[in-house]
Amino acid sequence: MMDIKHYVKPASLEEAYSTLSSSKKNTILGGGVWMKYTKSQVDTMIDLSLLHLDQIDVGKDHIVIGAQTQLRDLEVHPSIVSLGGGFLSQAIGSIVGVAFRNLATIGGSIIGKYPFSDLVTVMLCLEVKLRFFPEEEMSLHDFLDQKEKHHAILTHIVIRKTNGMGYFKKVSNTSLDFSILNVACFYEGEWKIAIGSRPGKPMLAWDAMHALNQAKHVDQHVIESVGHIIIQTIPFADDERGSKAYREILAKTYVMRGIKEVMSHES
């Protein structure tokens, strides 16, 4: 059971950051649904609900999402539904159930760097920037690569609009389970492929992407070679949900299938 000593609702980001910085045992409350996986004792729980960080603002070139936005609101938003042929909305919709997604937030889903995250796997295929307070901005990829804990407050997620086409596949025992493996493919002038729940954190398949992007024509031979590259270059492992060998088979199969499906929409 989580032990929380104090609970506060700051009236400003400055107040929230000051409280967060005062102790390593202070933490931000997102939707709260993932916290049992990362926290057992909290000195001060910081609730950002007064700071209006639950808005989705759509501009000409970007979608700016407040970190407190609930996953369900994101899933059904027209700009997210239309993005990449709907693969981001599909990924969000694969997360547990609607009641859960009405609580979980996009900020909480990203900041925890959860290895099983369906959402983060897809977002790695898009151009995504994270805004923090105090003033700081970095790509989602760079954030995931950070070894040390990030102590700033995630305030917004910025996604560049795209006309590209995407593919998402989650493999799990039931719709309510965490992924055994998840795969995302995306094409907009160049290919991106991301693999999650390896069971390590989601990552881009750089070597496979390079092979695709260097190919003059993506035919069956190229697609099969990409499947082999995935197995050779992406680290997989065993855990209670699946074996390394099973994950390798799934990754090869669904990356190849994803490339074909995206190409079928592009032709």
In terms of phi and psi (left: phi > 0; alpha: psi -120 to 50; beta: otherwise), the region of 52 is left
In terms of phi and psi (left: phi > 0; alpha: psi -120 to 50; beta: otherwise), the region of 81 is alpha
Q: Is domain 174-266 classified as CATH 3.30.390.50?
A: yes
Separation of alpha carbons 100 and 48, rounded Å: 19
Check residue 34 and give its pLDDT.
58
Both tokens of 85, joined, read 């042929």
b/e map of 254-266 (b: 16 or more CB within 10 Å)? bbbbbbebbbeee
What fold, for 56-160?
A: 3.30.465
pTM score of the predicted model: 0.92
Question: Which spans in 94-243 are helix H?
Answer: 98-101, 106-111, 118-123, 140-145, 206-214, 220-233
Both tokens of 173, joined, read 């025992």
Check residue 31 and give its pLDDT.
59
Strand runs labelled E in 127-231: 128-133, 136-139, 153-160, 165-171, 181-187, 191-196, 203-204
Check residue 243 and give its pLDDT.
97
Check residue 238 and give its pLDDT.
97
Q: What does the pLDDT profile of the chain (267 residues) look like in tens digits?
A: 567 889 999 999 999 999 999 988 888 887 565 555 555 678 899 999 999 999 999 999 999 999 999 999 999 999 999 999 999 999 999 998 898 899 899 999 999 898 999 999 999 999 999 999 998 899 999 999 988 777 899 999 999 999 999 999 999 998 788 999 999 999 999 999 999 999 999 999 999 999 999 999 999 999 999 999 999 999 999 999 999 999 999 999 999 999 999 999 876
Check residue 170 and give its pLDDT.
97
Where are the chain's structural domains? 3-51, 56-160, 174-266
The CATH number, out of the four listed (1.10.10, 3.30.43, 3.40.50, 3.30.70), of the domain defined by the range 3-51: 3.30.43
Both tokens of 15, joined, read 């107040």
